[in-house]
Amino acid sequence: DFSSHSSSFRSMSSADDSGNIDDTTTTNDSSVGGGVLDLVFGFVKTKVAYQFSKLCAADILLHTNGEGGSAEAFATATKLDPDLSLRFLRAADAVGLVTEDTTTKLFTPTALGRSIGSINEPGRGIVLLEASPEYSKAWDNFDQVLDTGAIGWQLAH
pLDDT tens, 41-96? 888 999 999 999 999 999 999 997 665 699 999 999 999 999 999 999 999 999 99
pLDDT range class, residue 17, cuts 50, 70, 90: very low
More confident residue, 72 or 152: 72
Across 22-46, average pLDDT: 69
The residues near 151 (Cβ < 8 Å, ≥ 6 apart) are 145
What is the C-alpha separation between 71 and 132, in angstroms, rounded?
Answer: 25
More confident residue, 67 or 13: 67
**Least confident residue range of 24-28, 47-51, 59-63, 132-136:** 24-28
Greatest extent of the chain over all pairs of C-alpha atoms, in Å: 55
pLDDT band at 138 (very low <50, low <70, confident <90, very high): confident
- Taking the whole predicted model, whether its pTM rises above 0.85 is answered as no
Q: CB of 118 within 8 A of CB of 59? A: yes
Q: Rounded CA gap, 14 and 16, in Å?
A: 7
Tell me how many degrees the CA angle 63-69-72 measures, rounded to the nearest 5. 115
Q: How far apart are CA 52 and CA 126, in angstroms?
A: 13
